[in-house]
Structure 1
Amino acid sequence: MSPTAPSRAPLPGPWGALLYEARTTHVRAEPRRVFRHRFPLWLVDLDALPRLPWPLRPLARFLPRDHALHPGSPTLRADLERDLAAHGLQLGGGRVLMLAQARSLGHVFNPLTVYWCRDAAGAPLCTVAEVHNTYGGRHRYLLRPDAAGLAGVAKDFYVSPFLPPDGRYHLLLPEPAPDGARLHLSVRLELPGGPALTATVSGTGRPAGPAALLRSALRYPLATFAVSLRIRAQGVRLWLRGLPVHPRPSAERAARP
């Protein structure tokens, strides 16, 4: 994130958003397994969410309940500001960019949503990595990455029954360029014995508009359903291989929104 980048320069295109054809790769260390799939990702400004014409709205919607951690939050920005304030951070009208899948055909599941937050002067304030698990739980990690987008944080949220609840994440989350230049993010989970899992997301964005959305919908039909199904299918494969299961902590069960 560059401190000199403009704070309110609009994202390109008729909807003021970028649409990426993204590819994610998950590499599990033990047993070694590699999972890959493609799906659409959106980069949007929380203060200028895309307003699609009504015939296209079933294909892409951004609803607070899909991301908000606090019931009753009127907007996603207000929900995020509540968490930032708890850490002594104030946006002060600054810009927040969100990278996530949109709700499509009534369904959405985002294993990882990223928010890049800037203050009123346009300077980087923080990056928030919001993790969702398949049990309906959500958790936000507030990060202070360096100029390259690198940050580390202790794991304190249950994601997979095949990974222990402890460990440390090493994340590379540079803020995407507003011109849609190539996106590259990575998350590596380190355990005492070494790396356990590395996930990367890459892609090239283009201005979001009717043509880009329809092209994406045709190329990746039912994309949000596919993400959920693939995660569960991968879990079944690992279970069939006899991997030990780590029970979900009771405290995490109670923390579901």
Structure 2
Amino acid sequence: MSLVSPSTAVSLLTAGLGIGLTLLLHYRSYVKPPLSSSSNTTDGFLPSFFIPAVTSHGRYLPLTARNSFSYSVLYVGVDIDALESGRLNLPFRVFAYSGHPITKILGLRSNNYLGKGDGRDSLREKLEAFLERSECGIQTHEIRRVWMVTSPSFVGWEGPNPLTTWYCYGKTKDGTGRGPLKCVILEVHNTFGEAHAYVLKADSPLRHEPAAGYDLAFTFPRSFHVSPFNSRDGYYRADIIDPFPPDAPPSHIPQVKILLRLLTPEHTHKLTAVLTSGPSPPIPLEPGSISAILAALAKWPFTLFSVTARTFYQAYILHYKKKLALFPRPEPKIAAEGQEGVFNPPEKDDQRLGIVIGRQKEAWTERKARDVIGLWAQGRAEHVGVGLEVNFGNGRERMVIAPKGDDRHSNGNGHGSSNGHRNGHASLHQQKDIESETLRITTSDPNFFTNLLLSPSPQHSLILFPERLTSVSTTSLFLTLFASPPTPSKDFPARQSASIRSRFFLHLYSYSTLAPTPQIPSLNTYHFSDDPTILDWRTRLQITRLLFWTWFGEMADENLLNMLKGRFVPGQEPWLVWDRGMKRVWGIDPNVPNDGGSVRLDE
């Protein structure tokens, strides 16, 4: 008796032919002759590869925390113009550019490189915009070819990408071919969702003799918080191999090797990280290499998935086994100026090699707090005749609220124009009056508006501003603008908001051994937002909700760290922000911890 009925056999045969035909058409749709690396070279493109590699780390300081490890990693090295032309797309979606990562086995897209994007800008466009913004002195028309080494997405997983290296090559004298290496860009990402880039020019004064086996080397200041186990000060020494030297033949297979050494401010060797291609040779990104690419993925099936797990495992070893304390995450900043006395400052960067290209997303509480304060400031300007201008050092849009009598207007979100007068032509005397009546605040605090709502009084805010990278143009104007209203509201939202502020700051007070100065009012004072003539009941209830979730988040973070027995560097705990502020007031170095660590008054 037949095991398969005729109708079933016909169905299976039809399905098989259909699948086979679909795969054949899919294969043909991704074959764009010629696609070999040699043809790419003929067309001027640099050859592109799938690159098995090894990363190794070794820590030497402190001596009690010596540690080392090595892991296999998978990278791709691509000519960005060949990538974006579609020439590197492989059959069966083994490798493809753009689109959602779930639609391919391996892939790249421009979204997460050199700053966040929506995928519309090409890698070349983002690179040129970055070079112009960095003011590094390299003109975009000078760049002929760009070879990018990065970690691809894998079956939908677009994991963290700690290091992406851009090798930018200039033009030949006649402008038609690829010239020598113009610069190397090291794009660094951390686990906090932030990104930084260092531009290393071939003619940089920071370039020096490389180590044996390398082509070029640089020593440059650090300015980015990569690991919570390292401070931001000190230097990097980078020794790099040029993957496409000027005398390389057309059949040249590039070698990727970067030796990165972390040096203390005294140039003592602290840590070494090495990325090197191998032990397997790079695999050309071309149709004939599909089986080799799939074999490499089968050999290291979890490598692209395991970057985060490996990072946390090594963090566990350093924190719990090696007893290294944590440095809190600082706000990214490209230079040390303006951060004197602030914890974990970056090394001074006179060449401005370090460029901030990615910051943490703005919290929903901060967006709502901005809207509320923008609405409040417009009404307050009518009452006291003081305008408000908030300028951000972290790339966010500034807020401008015109003073009373000036027709510069802002919308409901507090965004307005900074130009103009009621007659369109302000006299010099009038302009000076306007400037004297406008409070200007400069800040890099990512939670500036939320912290304003959370501080019980303007005096409390002024104490904390130095710790939060914030300064005001005139202290008296700040106190005038943010003073308590003459007839404050005492309804439910006002009472609940006051209760949250009091609880939060009593908690901060409890970690300080220094008493507040007499100029600081009590925690029960009325808040500037308790003005019923400016903010209605619904808006003030929204403030209560914002304060609750901010307070809840702060307490949850602290309790979670205590539960996990985590330890910050003594004196740099986030909840010691008030203690550090009071130390500044009393003339004490805020970075010197209290005797015996964090002393609480209620212990």
TM-score where L is the length of structure 1: 0.87
> 88, 94, 103: which is aligned to 2:144?
94
Task: State the Cα distance separating 1:142 from its structure 2 match.
Answer: 0.3
Determine the structure 1 residue equivalent to 2:22: none
Task: State the Cα distance separating 1:76 from its structure 2 match.
Answer: 1.6
Q: How far, CA to CA, are the matches of 1:32 and 1:7 in structure 2?
A: 49
Task: State the Cα distance separating 1:9 from its structure 2 match.
Answer: 3.8
Residues 1:143 and 1:125: Cα distance change in structure 2 (over 3 Å): same
SS in 1 for 2:329: coil
SS in 2 for 1:197: strand
Determine the structure 2 residue equivalent to 1:246: 327
Q: How far, CA to CA, are the matches of 1:124 and 1:144 in structure 2?
A: 9
Residues 1:164 and 1:202: Cα distance change in structure 2 (over 3 Å): same
> 88, 113, 125: which is aligned to 2:164?
113
Determine the structure 2 residue equivalent to 1:61: 107
Question: Percent identity of the aligned residues?
Answer: 28
Number of equivalenced pairs: 248
SS in 2 for 1:77: helix
Task: State the Cα distance separating 1:70 from its structure 2 match.
Answer: 4.6
> 184, 194, 197: which is aligned to 1:127?
184
Residues 1:65 and 1:181: Cα distance change in structure 2 (over 3 Å): closer
Amino acid at match of 1:157: F
Task: State the Cα distance separating 1:195 from its structure 2 match.
Answer: 1.4
Q: How far, CA to CA, are the matches of 1:113 and 1:239 in structure 2?
A: 27
Q: How far, CA to CA, are the matches of 1:115 and 1:8 in structure 2?
A: 21
CA contact (8 A) 2:225 2:332 kept: no
Structure 1, gaps ≥5 residues long: 1-5
- Deviation digits for residues 29-64 of structure 1 (CA, Å, limit 9, x no counterpart): 131100110011111001011212244242211111
Determine the structure 2 residue equivalent to 1:52: 90
1:228-243 matches, cutoff 5 A: 228-241=308-321, 242-243=323-324
Task: State the Cα distance separating 1:119 from its structure 2 match.
Answer: 2.4
Structure 2, gaps ≥5 residues long: 1-40, 96-103, 173-178, 245-250, 334-355, 362-603
Residues 1:55 and 1:96: Cα distance change in structure 2 (over 3 Å): closer
> 125, 128, 141: which is aligned to 1:81?
128
Q: How far, CA to CA, are the matches of 2:188 and 2:73 in structure 1?
A: 17
Task: State the Cα distance separating 1:7 from its structure 2 match.
Answer: 11
Q: How far, CA to CA, are the matches of 2:131 and 2:89 in structure 1?
A: 27
Amino acid at match of 2:108: F
CA contact (8 A) 2:235 2:265 kept: no
Task: Looking at secondary structure, tell me which structure has more helix per residue.
Answer: 2
2:278 pairs with 1:192: no
Task: State the Cα distance separating 1:171 from its structure 2 match.
Answer: 0.4
Task: State the Cα distance separating 1:66 from its structure 2 match.
Answer: 2.8
SS in 1 for 2:171: coil
Residues 1:37 and 1:89: Cα distance change in structure 2 (over 3 Å): same
- Deviation digits for residues 145-193 of structure 1 (CA, Å, limit 9, x no counterpart): 4582211221101100000111111101222147225432111010035
SS in 1 for 2:111: helix
